[in-house]
């Protein structure tokens, strides 16, 4: 039954997506509302097919229907809840099926949102683009990534279950779906960008249609990346949270270009500038999601996150190439219409700072892309396998990150068009004081080293600017001033500052050692005491966990362990982390006692301010939600209160500003 329903759902979705493309094209060409409405109804068929297929697969997973090849290869009767549900995205074919479901949901929402504007060619071409993307992904689940193959299980057959690493933490149930919602969500603004290019309506109207869609996708992608770092920190046991792994980079790349777009789009809405930038950034963001899918699912790169080698790679690479060719061709074709109606009058202006911001984000994205795909290029031409490690990425990204912190501190206080040095100095007094106070505090508590101290000072500087802007908004508008694009953006900046400071502290002052202890023995490291209490064995339906009980500073015991799963010979470490607002102490087992009375070997990793990574990520998501609510956009050309103040003499500006 699951096989029949799943195949029926995939077939229905593919036919509906293809029919949607044809109906919308005919309707646009003939101005026939009947065909256009049929095209809109095809969105319901796409969603219905995706829901039916995913529902059939989840039912097969939950009922251990091993006649479905995907279930036989990746599930087990002993896989506990919710990991049996999450098995859907634990392997290649199921992950593409989840992608299809998320894409179908966005298509249906778009069709519903614009159902009263079906005669608008911009909406029509956007729907054509969405249906084309859906047709491609349904083709994948019909052909090279078909999840509904049949299997004849022998009597008593039980599958191997998901990869043991994917059964170690509850975040496995949330991290991939969040990433997919972010990845796929960028399809909607990309579709409207293509629609604007095809129709030649390259003003600011299409931007307004897609602003919230872009923010939603960006928020989900941000949450997905943060949850992924948290998952790595809690599960992999190496004491880190970001290793510049190719698959990690694949999620970061569209986030970088998407972030650049969210900044530069403000300039186009306000001044009619950076049109080519914005279209290029949107197209690049969507293209990078496809490239990231290729890197993750083709097996071309080795990674703890990547799926096994498959024949899906050539199709994804061809689709990526098609997106790049079409996007570049359309932008080139519409070159005359993309000329800006304004110009940057001074580098000391809001638009000038946004342009520099775009350049820095583009440079960082290029650096990450180069380090990620360079091994592929070398292997393609020479056959040699090489890797680009963390030192390259850290060395190249650190200066750009510090420069972005400087921009975060200065850009929000700059007026449009131009600013005087006197006005800028006046607006930066309190942020500069905050940066200085942060530096003094860091030195007072023992922080040393030029790079981290510069990071702390700039973080305080940027934090001071964000808080200043929020205070001004509340003074002008009351509590409602906390909502809207500007204030929400400042809250996002506060989250970024938390993450930047946590990154600087945890990387500069991390301490790690290995302790070899016998039961009852105590050791001291980095001012903390560690006492080996004993061992404990926990039996679960799908695994046996041998824990090493350790007291940290007299508290606990904490229980890092080693998990042995019923299927396969792989042993998976299960770290245990003591979390405080100031420092994390992560414990992982390197070697269990070979016999009673024998020593256990434990890795101890001490890192300050780790918890502020997760808090910062949460603040960024909350800030994005605040940016999507309230705070109506000012009409184009209308000055902000600070812009009004900037036209007055500095003494008058002081009173209006503060």
pLDDT at 632 over 70: no
pLDDT recorded at residue 301: 56
The C-alpha torsion from 143 through 145 and 148 to 150, rounded to 10°, is 80
- The CA-atom distances, in angstroms, between 48 and each of 16, 45, 79, 514 are 9, 5, 28, 54
Mean pLDDT of 173-189: 93
Digit-coded pLDDT (tens) for 102-111: 999 999 999 9
Between 446 and 470, the higher pLDDT residue: 470
What pLDDT is stored for residue 417 in this prediction? 78
Cα atoms in the Cβ-side hemisphere of radius 13 Å centred on 67: 8
Tell me, yes or no, whether 56 lies in a domain. Answer: yes
DSSP letters, 528-568, are EEEEEEEEEEEEETTEEEEEEEEEETTEEEE--EEEEESSS
Q: Residue 554 sits in which domain range? A: 512-608
* Final residue belonging to a domain, choices 161, 186, 206: 161
Which tokens belong to 360?
């820095």
Report the distance separating Cα 597 and Cα 402, nearest Å. 51
Q: Is 72 exposed, middle or buried (0-12, 13-18, 19+ CB in 10 A)?
A: buried
Q: In whole angstroms, give the CA distance from residue 55 to residue 5.
A: 9
pLDDT at 63: 92
| Rounded-to-integer distance, Cα 568 and Cα 79, Å | 14
383 pLDDT exceeds 80?
A: no
For residue 657, give the 3-state DSSP assignment: helix
State the pLDDT at residue 378. Answer: 80
Reduced to 3 states, what is the DSSP secondary structure of residue 418?
Answer: coil
Strands 600-608 and 511-517 come out as antiparallel
Q: Which residue has the tokens 């808080």?
A: 467
Q: Tokens in use for 277?
A: 């930038």
In contact, 426 and 365? CB cutoff 8 Å: no
From 161, 192, 217, the end of a domain falls on: 161
**Quick count: other Cβ atoms within 10 Å of Cβ 381?**
8
Asked if pLDDT for residue 390 goes beyond 90, the answer is no
Which DSSP state fits 145?
A: T
Q: What is the pLDDT of residue 654?
A: 33
- pLDDT, residue 446, reads 86
CA 453 to CA 437: how far, in whole Å? 12
Full 3-state SS string of 480-519: HHHCCHHHHHHHHHHHHHHHHHHHHHHHHCCEEEEEEECC
**pLDDT for residue 310:** 59
With respect to residue 541, please indicate whether it lies within any of the assigned structural domains.
Answer: yes
> For residue 432, is it left (φ>0), alpha (ψ between -120 and 50) or beta?
alpha
CA distance 59 to 600: 43
Contacts of 121 (CB under 8 A, 6+ apart): 28, 195, 198, 199
- Span 126-145, average pLDDT: 94
What DSSP character marks residue 150? B
272 versus 490: which is more confidently predicted? 490
416: its two tokens: 């449009």
Residues 6 or more apart in contact with residue 579 via CB below 8 angstroms = 610, 611
Tens digit of pLDDT for each residue in 596-620?
Answer: 888 999 999 999 999 999 999 999 9
Are 484 and 624 in contact by the 8 Å Cβ rule? The answer is: no
Query: CA–CA separation, 297 vs 312, rounded Å?
Result: 7
Q: Please choose, from the candidates 529, 516, 531, the residue with its C-alpha nearest in 3D space to the C-alpha of residue 593.
A: 516
Query: What is the predicted pLDDT for the residue at 547?
Result: 92
- The answer to whether the Cα torsion of 120, 124, 126, 130 is positive or negative is positive
At 4-22, the pLDDT tens digits run: 999 999 999 999 999 999 9
For residue 519, being part of any structural domain is answered with: yes
**Tens-place pLDDT, residues 215-230:** 999 999 999 999 999 9
**Is residue 596 in a domain?**
yes
pLDDT band of residue 648 (cuts 50, 70, 90) is very low
* Residue 323 in domain: no
Cα–Cα distances in Å, from 318 out to 289, 315, 325, 484, 546? 14, 5, 11, 40, 47
Residue 584, SS3?
A: strand
pLDDT band at 643 (very low <50, low <70, confident <90, very high): very low
Per-residue confidence (pLDDT) for residue 503, from 0 to 100: 93
- Kindly report, residue by residue over 297-328, the tens digit of the pLDDT: 765 555 444 444 557 888 999 999 999 999 99
Q: What is the Cα–Cα distance from 296 to 308, expressed in whole angstroms?
A: 9
* Confidence (pLDDT) at 605: 94
For residue 435, is it within any domain? no
185/15 Cα distance (integer angstroms): 22
- pLDDT tens profile 349-367: 888 888 899 999 999 999 9
Higher pLDDT, 338 or 39: 39
At 636 the pLDDT is 43
Asked whether 313 and 301 are in contact (CB, 8 A), the reply is no
Torsion over CA: 34, 38, 40, 41 (sign): positive
Report the 10 Å Cβ neighbour count for 581. 11
pLDDT in tens, 398-425: 999 999 999 999 999 888 877 777 778 8
d(CA 604, CA 515): 7
Token pair, residue 188, equals: 């909607």
Per-residue pLDDT at 265 exceeds 50: yes
What length does the chain have?
A: 658
- Tell me what the pLDDT averaged over the chain comes to: 87
Peptide bond connecting 310 to the previous residue in cis, omega within 30 degrees of 0: no
Q: Examine the pLDDT at 377 and tell me if it is beyond 60.
A: yes
Give the chain's domain count: 2
pLDDT class of 629 with cuts at 50, 70, 90? confident
> Residue 3 and residue 150: Cα distance in Å, rounded?
7
Q: d(Cα 166, Cα 168) in Å, to the nearest integer?
A: 6
In this prediction, residue 402 carries a pLDDT of 93
Weakest-pLDDT range from 27-36, 105-114, 522-531, 634-643 = 634-643
Q: pLDDT value at position 307?
A: 46
Predicted local confidence at residue 300, as pLDDT: 59
Does 362 or 271 have the greater pLDDT score? 362
What's the pLDDT tens digit per position in 54-87?
A: 999 999 999 999 999 999 998 888 888 888 898 9
Helix, strand, coil distribution of the chain in percent, nearest 5 = 65, 10, 25
The region of weakest confidence among 127-131, 330-334, 540-544, 627-631 is 627-631
Q: Is the residue at 558 inside a domain?
A: yes
User: Residue 547: inside a domain, yes or no?
Assistant: yes
């Amino acid at each position: 039954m699951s096989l029949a329903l799943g195949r029926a759902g995939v077939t229905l979705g593919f036919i509906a997506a293809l029919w949607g493309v044809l109906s919308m094209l005919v309707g646009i060409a003939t101005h026939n509302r009947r065909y256009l409405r049929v095209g809109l109804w095809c969105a319901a068929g796409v969603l219905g097919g995706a829901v039916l297929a995913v529902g059939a697969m989840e039912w097969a997973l939950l009922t251990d229907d091993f006649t479905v090849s995907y279930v036989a290869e990746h599930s087990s009767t002993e896989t506990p809840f919710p990991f049996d549900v999450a098995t859907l995205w634990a392997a290649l074919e199921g992950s593409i099926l989840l992608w299809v479901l998320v894409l179908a949901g966005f298509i249906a929402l778009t069709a519903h949102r614009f159902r009263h504007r079906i005669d608008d060619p911009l909406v029509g071409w956007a729907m054509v683009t969405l249906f084309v993307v859906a047709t491609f992904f349904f083709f994948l689940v019909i052909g090279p990534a078909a999840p509904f193959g049949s299997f004849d299980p022998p009597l008593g057959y039980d599958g191997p279950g998901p990869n043991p690493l994917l059964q170690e933490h509850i975040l496995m149930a949330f991290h991939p779906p969040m990433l997919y919602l972010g990845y796929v969500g960028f399809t909607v603004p990309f579709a409207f960008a293509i629609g604007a290019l095809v129709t030649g309506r390259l003003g600011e109207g299409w931007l307004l249609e897609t602003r919230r869609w872009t923010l939603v996708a960006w928020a989900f992608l941000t949450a997905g990346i943060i949850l992924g770092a948290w998952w790595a920190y809690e599960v992999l046991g190496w004491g880190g949270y970001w290793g510049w792994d190719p698959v990690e980079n694949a999620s970061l790349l569209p986030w970088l270009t998407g972030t650049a777009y969210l900044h530069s789009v403000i300039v186009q809405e306000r001044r009619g500038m950076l049109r080519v930038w914005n279209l290029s950034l949107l197209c690049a963001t969507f293209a990078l999601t496809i490239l990231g899918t290729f890197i993750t699912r083709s097996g071309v790169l080795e990674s703890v996150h990547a799926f096994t080698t498959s024949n899906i790679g050539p199709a994804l690479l061809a689709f990526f190439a098609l997106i790049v060719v079409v996007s570049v061709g359309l932008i080139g074709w519409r070159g005359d219409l993309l000329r800006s109606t304004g110009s940057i009058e001074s580098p000391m202006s809001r638009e000038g700072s946004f342009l520099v911001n775009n350049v820095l984000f583009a440079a960082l994205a290029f650096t990450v892309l180069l380090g990620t795909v360079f091994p592929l290029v070398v292997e393609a031409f020479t056959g040699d396998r090489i890797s680009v490690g963390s030192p390259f990425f850290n060395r190249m990204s650190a200066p750009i990150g510090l420069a972005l912190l400087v921009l975060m501190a200065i850009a929000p206080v700059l007026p449009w068009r131009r600013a005087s040095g006197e006005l800028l100095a006046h607006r930066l007094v309190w942020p500069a004081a905050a940066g200085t106070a942060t530096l003094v505090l860091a030195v007072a508590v023992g922080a040393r080293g030029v790079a981290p101290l510069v990071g702390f000072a700039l973080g305080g500087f940027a934090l001071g600017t964000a808080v200043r802007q929020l205070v001004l908004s509340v003074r002008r508008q009351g509590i409602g001033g906390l909502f809207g694009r500007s204030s929400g953006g400042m809250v996002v900046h506060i989250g970024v500052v938390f993450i930047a400071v946590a990154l600087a502290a945890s990387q500069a002052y991390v301490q790690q050692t290995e302790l070899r202890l016998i039961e009852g023995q105590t050791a001291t490291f980095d001012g903390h005491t560690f006492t080996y209490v004993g061992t404990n064995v926990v039996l679960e339906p799908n695994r046996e966990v041998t824990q090493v009980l350790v007291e940290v500073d007299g508290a606990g015991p904490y229980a890092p362990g080693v998990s042995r799963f019923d299927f396969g010979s792989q042993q998976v470490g299960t770290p245990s982390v003591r979390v405080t607002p100031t420092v994390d102490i992560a414990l992982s087992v390197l070697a269990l006692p070979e016999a009673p009375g024998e020593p256990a070997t434990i890795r101890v990793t001490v890192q300050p301010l780790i918890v502020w990574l997760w808090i910062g990520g949460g603040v960024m998501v909350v800030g994005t939600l605040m940016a999507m609510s309230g705070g109506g956009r000012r009409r184009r050309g209308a000055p902000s209160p600070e812009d009004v103040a900037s036209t007055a003499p500095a003494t008058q500006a002081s009173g209006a500003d503060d």
